[in-house]
Chains A and B, each alone.
Chain A
Amino acid sequence: MWGSDSDSRDAKQGRDGKGKHDVSISDATVAVSDELAARDDMIVCREVDKWFGDFQALSGISATIKEQEIVVVLGPSGSGKSTWIRCINRLEVHQSGQIIVDGIELSNDLRNIEKIRSEVGMVFQQFNLFPHLTVMDNITLAPIWVRRKSRSEAEEQALALLERVGIPEQAQKFPGQLSGGQQQRVAIARALAMEPRVMLFDEPTSALDPEMIKEVLDVMEELARTGMTMMVVTHEMGFAREVADRIIFMEDGEIVEVGTPEHFFTEPEEERTKLFLSQVL
């Protein structure tokens, strides 16, 4: 229906996104090292605005996330972190500005949305596993029905992923029979089964009992080491300090400060950042 002109538009935007390194670095990626700056852009946001009715949840968000970069988004609750991350695979619709993922712009073009969603994996605070399907079926559902893989191939891959997140023996159980930490690891495996280029984590440990947080963070750290591009909304300061390449601090729907963990935790510039850190640390 959209034909070839939308194709060429995609391509053009893709080139645009890659051609403006200097611009994006100058606005929100100040503290990126030269090595990082040389990589390709994975997620580019330009002046993204989002309202819920009269309430402006995001105002003028501009940021660039590079390939293989680990970005942790911090901020008090209600600051728009989750809204932003949910805009990136269009679970929320932004009203103005541009979001470009791997050279594809998010617009009303259904084909673009589909393409981006199959490249972007997402892990939710509440796991959102499908309770009527076994762990195995949860993981193989999308590979079979979206990627059109054969069942045996999908199951082989699912077993490998379960091995990777450390629970291969739970394959035939239902989500309701697993602990919270195990469920979240299944959710990560489910997202990885689509072989995404980017993983979005929306407060993945917030609904977990303290003793289960570590098992999930371990899986995420392992994932980070394998070179996955990750964008993580979390309250786990330890994880942010250890794993993140960059930290983005948000408040009231705006990006307040961007920097390396070292910079962020030791010498924050903004008053609001200092206040936040004094409350959580």
Chain B
Amino acid sequence: MSDERGAGETASLGTLGARPPFYRDATVVKWLSQVVGLVLVLLGLFFLASQAQNNLEERDIATGYDFLGTALGSDLGSGIDTNPDTSGRALWAGMVNTIRLAIAGIALATILGVLVGVGRLSRNWIVSRTSSVFVETLRNIPLLVQIILIFVVIASLPRVTTDQGPIHGWLHVSNTGVSIPRVTIGDGFYQWIIFVIAGAALGRWAMRRQERRHDLTGQQTYPWLSFAGVVLAFAAVGWFAHPALGWVGAIFDAIASGIDALTPPIVQVVISLLAIAAAVQWIRRFLASHRTPAGLTKLIDDDWFRIIFAGAGAVLVILFVTLGWPGLSSWVINSGRDLFEVIADKFGDGRTGSPIAAYRPDIEQLGNFPNYGPAGLNLIQALAAVYFGVVLYTAAFIAEVVRGGILAVPKGQSEAAQALGLRRTTMLRRVILPQAFRVILPPLGNQYLNLTKNTSLAIAIGYSDVVQVGQTVYNQTGKTLEVVSIWMLFYLACSLTISVVVNFFNVRMRIVER
């Protein structure tokens, strides 16, 4: 090695076209440092894992995920299953609670945040002051304090009584929380939704047609109105005609039995072929994107790395399904069959009931005190506290993001639009918002991630989200590491999903520059 270095130094300076010594060769250094880095990280992870394994074995702590199938000795406060059979089922119920909380929270926080953010820019003194106070108060108090505050405030409300409540029993507010009418999917919902989807497809076509008509003639054709009109018409017809689609369930039944007829080797072959096809397709596209009229451009080492990586990925997938985890194939078969059986079951055998059902909240008295019955949509105290806590807190930040995005559009843009005689709504729609949205999106995605992760504070007031349920599970089973790993994977999956969605829009909004 020292010989090489000596030779390299004498040859490098002043000699044109000579290869530098390897430790100064940018390509070699780049590859070498990446490989060394990767090896070090893998070694580190391996070391930590083996240490944990050793320590757990020394203390006689059994590891593994068998506890997911064992019975859980306690009930959950709320969720899809308040009396789960197993720990796994309980964790699943907790995950569903978290996901519901996150989705509903993101929806309301976005609406509220946009309103407050625009409100802060309003020329109306009262609106802008109120919005400022909203933002400055909420973002400067820790979320945990806010959640507990809302919890305490709800607790100080009067008890549930059997009287009608405001608005003739359509709304109940008490120290147990809020109960509002529940709108649920009814008997014929899935058959009806086929009509709505067909309507949406046709409505899209109608919308395109109206857009083209506007382009051709310049007439105002209201494309969105025709879209909504077609969808509504289909929904209305489908409301009464949906029993005609009673045969749809049989199709899914047939698919389910088709999947059931497969054997594991077939699935392994199919997955392997799919992996190869995906890799080949990716490499072809990649090469096509590097092809210029003058022929294939020179591939830099990064490009080669990507191509090798795609091939290696396909090989890894094949090794995994054939050798790594042969049980995967039968799992795929089983869950595929189950999935289609469930769908077939949703359609049922010629259902005739109405697609959507609504119920008025009820109050029942089982023990000494009256309480909300199952008919209404009950926002119980703990849920209300977490929900409004994260929504208000995140809305304050979203408001600032929105305000910043609108202010980031240079004043010259609105001046140019005004000078062209554009009306205010056209200007906002065509000039300001497309540019503001581009600035707003990335930090908005961050706020969505924050909101989702902040729902874990539910543990402070005992709402049964995935963290609270997980705590119950590891208190009973002692499988702390395993539960933590499930939490991590769950939140990772949620965050990645949000990131993918936000990035999708982000790429679409990008502005082309030189």
Spell out A's residues near B (CB within 8 Å). Answer: 89-91, 114, 117-118, 120-122, 124, 126, 128-132, 141-142, 144-154, 174, 176-177, 187, 190-191, 194
B461 within 8 A of A: no
- CA A190 to CA B413, docked complex, whole Å: 13
Looking at the complex, which one of A129, A152, A177 makes contact with B512 (CB distance below 8 Å)? Answer: A177
Q: Which of chain B's residues 297-322 have a Cβ closer than 8 Å to chain A? A: none
A-B contact count (CB 8 A): 93
Task: Please name the residue on chain B nearest to A147 by beta carbon.
Answer: B218
Q: Which of B66-74, B104-112, B166-174, B422-430 contacts A (4 or more CB under 8 A)?
A: B422-430
A132 touches B218 (CB 8 A): no
Q: Which A residues are in CB contact (< 8 Å) with B512?
A: 174, 176-177
Contact of B412 among A126, A132, A152 (CB under 8 A): A126
Assess whether B218 is in contact with A142, with CB atoms less than 8 Å apart: no
**Cβ of B219 < 8 Å from any Cβ of A?**
yes
The yes or no answer to B431 lying at the interface (CB within 8 A) is: yes
A128 in contact with B416 (CB, 8 Å): yes
A148 x B219 contact (CB < 8 A):
yes
Contact B422 A141 (CB under 8 A): yes
Contacts of A174 in B (CB 8 A): 511-513
A-B contact pairs, 5 of them (CB 8 A): A117-B420, A126-B410, A130-B413, A141-B430, A146-B423
Asked if B514 lies at the interface with its beta carbon under 8 angstroms from chain A, I say: yes
B215 interface hit (Cβ, 8 Å): yes
Given contacts A142-B421, A142-B422, A150-B215, contact A176 B416 (CB under 8 A): no
Most chain A Cβ neighbours within 10 Å, of B220, B420, B430, B438: B420
B266 at the interface (CB under 8 A from A): no
Let me know if B216 and A130 touch, CB within 8 A. Answer: no
Closest to B437 in A: A132
Instruction: Tell me whether B75 is interfacial, beta carbon within 8 Å.
Output: no
A146 to B420, CA, bound (A): 8
Q: Which 10 A/B pairs are nearest by Cβ-Cβ distance?
A: A176-B513, A151-B215, A128-B416, A118-B421, A128-B412, A122-B419, A142-B420, A150-B218, A117-B421, A174-B512
B275 CB to nearest chain A CB (Å): 39
Chain A residues whose C-beta falls within 8 Å of the C-beta of B410 in the assembled complex: 126, 128
Expressed in whole angstroms, the minimum distance between the Cβ of B505 and any Cβ of chain A is 14
Within 8 A of A (CB), among B112-162: none
Contacting residues, chain A, for B214 (C-beta < 8 A): 150-151
Task: Give bound CA distance, A154 to B214, whole Å.
Answer: 12
A150:B511 contact, CB within 8 angstroms: no
CB atoms of A130 and B431 under 8 A apart: yes
Specify the chain B residue showing the minimal Cβ separation from A151.
B215
Contact A152 B215 (CB under 8 A): yes
A194 and B420 contacting across the interface, CB-CB below 8 Å? yes
B485 at the A interface (CB under 8 A)? no
CB-based contact A124/B416 at 8 Å: yes
Residues A148 and B215 in contact in the complex (CB < 8 Å), given A117-B419, A141-B420, A142-B420: no
Question: Hey, which bits of chain B sit against chain A, CB under 8 A?
Answer: 214-220, 410, 412-413, 415-423, 426, 430-431, 434-435, 438, 511-514
The complex places the Cα of A73 from the Cα of B215 at a distance, in Å, of 40
Q: Is the CB of B416 within 8 A of A130?
A: yes
Q: Which of B217, B412, B421 lies in contact with A146, CB distance below 8 A?
A: B421
* CB proximity of A107 to chain B, nearest CB, Å: 16
Q: How far is the CB of A222 from chain B (nearest CB, A)?
A: 21
Contact assessment for A176 and B511 in the assembled complex, using a CB-CB cutoff below 8 Å: yes
Instruction: State A187–B434 Cα separation when bound (angstroms).
Output: 20
Instruction: Output the nearest chain A residue to B431 by Cβ-Cβ distance.
Output: A130
Q: How far is the CA of A151 from the CA of B418 in the complex (A)?
A: 21
CB of A114 within 8 A of CB of B421, answer yes
Contact B513 A177 (CB under 8 A): yes
**Minimum Cβ distance to chain B for residue A90 (Å):** 8
Q: Are A194 and B421 in contact (CB-based, < 8 A)?
A: yes
Q: Nearest chain-A residue to B412 (Cβ)?
A: A128
CA distance A152 to B217 in the complex (A): 8
Q: Which residues of chain A are near B420, meaning CB under 8 Å?
A: 117-118, 141-142, 146, 190-191, 194
Nearest chain A CB to B235's CB is how many angstroms away? 31
Instruction: Please state if A145 and B215 are interface contacts (CB–CB under 8 Å).
Output: no
Most buried by A among B217, B218, B410, B416: B416
Check A151/B416 contact, CB under 8 A, given A131-B435, A141-B430. no
Give B49 Cβ to nearest chain A Cβ, in Å. Answer: 49
Residues of A contacting B220 in the complex (Cβ-Cβ under 8 angstroms): 148
Q: How far, in whole Å, are A89 and B415 apart by their CA atoms in the complex?
A: 10
- Contacts of B215 on A, CB cut-off 8 Å? 150-152
Known: A154-B218, A187-B416. 9 other contacts (CB 8 A): A128-B413, A128-B415, A141-B430, A146-B420, A150-B216, A150-B218, A152-B216, A177-B514, A191-B420
Bound Cα distance A78, B404 (Å): 30
The complex places the Cα of A152 from the Cα of B218 at a distance, in Å, of 9
**Bound form: Cα–Cα A121–B419 in Å:** 7
Contacting residue for B430 out of A121, A145, A150, CB 8 A: A145
The residues of B that contact A146 with a CB separation of less than 8 Å are: 420-423, 426
Give bound CA distance, A89 to B106, whole Å.
42
Compute how far the CA of A124 lies from the CA of B215 in the bound complex, rounded to whole angstroms.
29
* A residues near B419, Cβ cutoff 8 Å: 89, 91, 117, 120-122, 124, 191
Q: How far is the CA of A144 from the CA of B217 in the complex (A)?
A: 10
Contacts of A118 in B (CB 8 A): 420-421
Give B413 Cβ to nearest chain A Cβ, in Å: 6
Roughly how many angstroms separate A210 CA and B421 CA in the complex, as a whole number?
32
Residues in B neighbouring A126, C-beta threshold 8 A: 410, 412
Chain B nearest Cβ from A217, distance in angstroms: 21
Residue of B nearest to A115 (CB): B421
State whether B426 touches A145 (Cβ < 8 A): yes
Docked Cα-Cα span, A174 to B426, in Å, equals 21
User: Hey, which chain B residues are within 8 Å of A149, CB to CB?
Assistant: 218
Known: A117-B418, A121-B419, A124-B416. A150 touches B217 (CB 8 A): yes
How distant is the Cα of A15 from the Cα of B419 in the complex, in angstroms? 26
B415 near A153 (CB under 8 angstroms)?
A: no
Would A176 and B514 count as touching, CB distance under 8 A?
Answer: yes
CA A132 – CA B423 in complex, angstroms?
A: 19
What residues of B have a CB within 8 angstroms of the CB of A176 in the complex? 511-514
Contact (A132, B421) CB under 8 Å given A124-B415, A148-B219, A150-B218: no
